[in-house]
Amino acid sequence: MKKKQRLGIALAIILTLGVSLFSSAVMAKTEPASSAKNAGQSGSRHGSIDGHGNGGGGNGGGGGNNNGNGGNNHGGGHGNGNGHGNGGGNGNGNGHGNGGGNAPVINLVDPNATDNTRSLFVYLNQTRGKQLLFGHQHATDEGLTLSSTATGLQSEVKNSVGDFPAVFGWDTLSLEGKEKPGVAGNLEQSRANLIQSVKAVHKIGGIVTLSAHMPNFVTGGSFNDTAGSVVAHILPGGDKNAAYNEFLDNIALFANNAKDDKGKLIPILFRPFHEQNGGWFWWGAKTTTSSQYVEIFRYTVEYLRDKKGVHNFLYAFSPNGTFGGAESSYLATYPGDDYVDVLGMDQYDNQQTPGTPGFLNGLVADLKMISKLADGKGKIATFSEFGYSPAGMLTTGNADLQWFTRLLQAIKSDPDAKRIAYMQTWANFGLGNNLYVPYRNAPNGLGDHELLPDFIAYYKDPYTAFLKEVKGVYDGKKVRTAAKNPLMHIVSPTDNGTVSEATTTIRVRALNVNPTKVVYSIQGSSEEIPMTLDADRFFYTANWSPAASFNGKTATLTVKVYKPNHTILQQTVTVFVKVNEILMKTFDFDTDINGIQNNGTYPETLGLTLSHGNLGGNHVLQLNVGNAIHTDTWQELKLELSNLAASVTIADVRRVKLNAWIPLSAGNMSANASVRAIVMLPGDWDTKYGMTTEMKLTDLPTETINGVVYAKYSPVIDLNDPAKSATATGMAISLVGNSLEHNGPIYIDNIGLYSAYAEAPQDPALVDDFESYQGSDAALAAKVIHAGGDATTVTLDGAHKSGGNYAMKLDYTLAGSGYAGVTKSLGSVDWSTFNRLRFWLVPDGSNQKLVIQLKVDGVSFEAYPSLAATTPGWVNLHFNEFAVAPWDTGNAGKKINKVSLKKVQEMSIYVNAVDGATLASSLYFDDIKAINDGTGGVPNGGDGPGGNPAPAGTLYGFETDTAGWNIEVNEASATSPTITTDAASEGTHAMASTFSLAGTGFEFTKVAALDLSTASAISVQVKLSSGQANARLYIKVGSAWEWHDSGTPALVDSSGFTTLTIPLSGIANLDAIQSIGVKIEPAAGGTGTAVAYVDDVYISIAQPTGISFDFETAADNWAINNDGDGAYNTAQATGLEISTAEAAKGAHSLKADFNLGGGQFQLRHANALDLSAAASVTAKVKIVPGAAGSLGSGVKLKLFLQSGDGWSWFDSGEIAYAGTGFNTVTFDLSSVTNKNQIKALGIQVLTPADSTGTAAVYLDDVTQQ
């Protein structure tokens, strides 16, 4: 669930190259006598080498069967090549295999790969199961111990263990000048520098890998800028394809010039588009469909290999683990055997809890799966990227100091998992979050890293291989590449993609075949439409204009490639057709006005005849209008499109357009002269579409034709009732004038009938109602994607919905990973006006841990609804119930607030295994949406006043100062406020001001932001020293500072404090209180002065009757009372947690462990509550003694409350715990005072002196009645 982060800093560093002969005295690596680590020797040739003695193009008989004497070419499609194999290779027809006679055959992406590239493939496959090569990214140019003054090659790995890594990694960022050895702003020099680095490590026997953190070609941002649907833009036909090609051109220049001293090309393992099943790169699953990913991977390979002549690449596929050992998860975006040489995986541990059995077991399961897949497909298996954590190791304080060796032992423990060719870790960019290899004797007082001894032990293990063990990689092995079978694939549009243009280009690649023809067809038609090679002879192309019947729906498109042997290659894709307008029919009147019927006029005194007219040389429909009088406000000229159903499916028509020319002089008699166009769909003559198209003639553009000035009117009329369109038998169009005075022609031309599609406005609150996928499971799976862990599948389901047509069915498996999940990207939506997430859930009764995760402003927050039941229902999660995901310790303690809610990015659903459970089950979700239920409660955000909802209790008590209160609107000579002990309603002090009783009034005012969104009331206590005055409490709310007060002024005097209260129900913008005040207005006739006392500005928060603490998702602010240095916890209660071991209601309860033997303790909720509406409180309690525990004469329980400013104690009295189940403890609140000011609610457990051992208490279902 964690995103991988990397340092991508552009540095301009000049690397001094050369081979260092430094001899380190660090240590020597030894091997057992039986070790066979020379990769050049013969031995068990796993994968593609097994059983290929005479296979391939040489000596193959039998009509072009390129398997020769029965050698098994792994992977898809290597038999039945067209044309006979030739002993020297390079057979005719489609045989692209290269020679070698009886040499073994390998199946490579590039059949024309260089000899050394083939040798590298063989070496890596032969080394599997014998030794495990270690690799390091930026091994020679990044590290804490690398010196700027040293000569020759340096390496952090060599400095640490005495040898270089076997595998050396770089990234295309170096080619851009954004990483060493590149030079910022200089592509040519960056390329030259990287070539020199590659040449240097190749010269000493190192193996080279190249990953690709490509820039965002749409936004210009970095690889982790996921905006812009990049892949759709860079695929052929996209507007950024040329920019992407330029990027690939630079890679090709590098590859084709990376040569050794003999001028031979240096083989490179190229790993583009890695970790694609995550969401942190623009090519990731959250922004790229699996079909788009497959096609951009294929295009990249084909462009480099077939257009740019790159023949020294082996192509690696490396999604991000975990996969739960499931091939289906791993292969979800697999581009095919013809495009992949290396099966890799990226997987990192967790910095907080490294080396857990769960991680190691899951890793081994995944490597085992990949290794077996590689065997079956004839590929190389690798651990292409790994590390202590995505952020590497800590400088000090790492939780597992034997991590490298424990990781290695886990891999070695499985005979399949150990058969990976190499494992490569990331670059040592620096301390903090980019340290992957432990350093030795680092400067600046760092010394040796605390994991160095373990890394040395990893190095010394006979199974690991560093540079000194890399031997015989390019020793002249005679290896032939298998001939490639005919292959075709549709490049665009991609499967489950969207066609949004009225005409789109279909692009197809046909490889290893000379087709007799290539055609496409569309569902519902048997017509095969020819496709032709483009100018570059790269793609077969044809244009397709979707029929209107497909608009807003899906269409299937099939391409067939006819081979010379009369067999067919074909592929079918499904696309969503979402074209703004598809022209269905045009009435252009170029030759006649057939199809237009005169339906008369309204009023009938208005004359109308039709003729075929000419306007400025263009043939048009001429409406000859008579007796149009400006006093008529509805002047309808009625036309009908006769016999339309014979040529158009009326139900598909969603828009009508036309052009009309009305003489501007027709409006001379009225400034309001106007025109509109309406459409009717008979037999419904009542519904008039286009009533809003009215325009004044004077507001229309004008054209002067043959000396006459015309107002040109071009209305667009949308037919927005599909049900009525579906039953229409015809179409009528009227031009309606208002206050026109005219006798003469009006002209109409180009009546266009369109299928129109417009995306429904997106509701930012809606995560998904599963109605927009047009019933396509594939479309759903493209948006709700696998988020890691064990296998998941999402499909549309019509039986478990809350409404509409569909819900989402989530099938999940809990196996090796211990969790499974899916996620949906929301972009960046604003939920700042909402306070809850609401969704329909059909749980499965599995009692596993359901995790609802929201990514809000870059931070992952989680809540945990129960899966204990099976009853369908609504789940309402207040945003305050979400806590930062436990693995994100860097953001621990943060809460969702209204500022962060302006950027909600993702929603994910996970199921975590409880107690190691393994199972397969299904959940159903529907109508997932953010809502505002009116109860508020979401913090505003920020650290200042008003950042969080005000808690219940005294807001201002004036015990130490006036807290910034002032006197305003002073018409009673009131003095500045001070604090005094002369009077107080709570505590010992109040705020006071002396004023004139003869004045008209003044106000105590506090101007400060305040959030009262969770409060039910605000009150204040007011008293005078003498005399009488009328008093009101007020608040000012929102940006307009709207006034709300306590109602009719209350008479206050010296007899005692008077309570002024503002009930807050129904007041808007309570989260934006601008000021609070008390308005004092002396009673009429007063004389002299008096002192006004203000005290105890108090916030009340009402709890609805029936609310309970059920502990299903959190401890709800309950804690063990350890006040007074443990005076209230003499039973030494500890270990408070949410438990599934016992539950009186739902699946969870609150548990604590304690000692028996005479002590007592309290579980307490010490947050303010308002129980003024409650008559009683109940709680369910269960005591479970430990294995050797005895409850003696019996444990006693008390349910208690503390209320008021003095925290007065009230309790239920001692109640003996009975039996072995949950006991219900009830507390009658009739004697409790200040129920609206509850300071604490709790349960007290008292143990008898004759009890022994330990016990656990379970608290559940604390409820008020």
Point out the residues that are catalytic: 275, 385
Which of the 8 DSSP states describes residue 306?
I
Cis peptide before 872 (omega within 30 of 0): no
* DSSP three-state, residue 458: helix
* Alpha helices for 600-681 (secondary structure H): none
Find out whether 106 and 118 touch, Cβ atoms under 8 Å.
yes
Residues 868, 871, 872, 877, CA torsion sign: negative
Cβ-based burial of 194 (10 A; exposed 0-12, middle 13-18, buried ≥19): buried
Question: Six-digit token pair at 744?
Answer: 């003469």
Find out whether 552 and 499 touch, Cβ atoms under 8 Å.
no
Integer Cα distance of 450 and 351 in angstroms: 14
Find out whether 581 and 754 touch, Cβ atoms under 8 Å.
yes
Question: Six-digit token pair at 427?
Answer: 């670059």
How many Cα atoms sit within 13 Å of 334 on the Cβ side? 19
Integer Cα distance of 484 and 110 in angstroms: 9
Residue for token digits 């009147």? Answer: 589
Integer Cα distance of 277 and 275 in angstroms: 6
How many Cα atoms sit within 13 Å of 951 on the Cβ side? 9
What residue type is 134 in one-letter code?
Answer: F
Which of the 8 DSSP states describes residue 352?
S
For residue 522, how many other CB atoms are within 10 A of its CB? Answer: 16
Integer Cα distance of 169 and 705 in angstroms: 72
Find out whether 32 and 213 touch, Cβ atoms under 8 Å.
no
* DSSP three-state, residue 1101: coil
Estimate to the nearest angstrom the gap between the alpha carbon of 1161 and the chain centroid: 45
Which of the 8 DSSP states describes residue 125?
H
Which residue in 262, 681, 667, 747 sits closest to 474, CA to CA? 262
Cβ-based burial of 463 (10 A; exposed 0-12, middle 13-18, buried ≥19): middle
The region that residue 371 occupies, defined by phi over 0 for left and psi between -120 and 50 for alpha, beta otherwise, is: alpha
Residue for token digits 């408070």? Answer: 1136
Residue 192's H or E segment, with its range, is helix 187-203
Cβ-based burial of 1264 (10 A; exposed 0-12, middle 13-18, buried ≥19): buried
What residue type is 195 in one-letter code?
Answer: I
Strand pairing category for 207-211 and 167-171 = parallel
Question: Six-digit token pair at 1218?
Answer: 């009975």
Residues 48, 49, 53, 58, CA torsion sign: positive
What residue type is 272 in one-letter code?
Answer: P
Residues 931, 932, 936, 939, CA torsion sign: positive
Integer Cα distance of 291 and 1082 in angstroms: 79
Find out whether 1152 and 1132 touch, Cβ atoms under 8 Å.
no
Integer Cα distance of 1224 and 368 in angstroms: 53
The backbone torsions φ and ψ at residue 829, rounded to the nearest 5 degrees and listed phi first, read -100, 155
Question: Six-digit token pair at 417?
Answer: 């998992």
Which residue in 986, 985, 964 sits closest to 976, CA to CA? 964
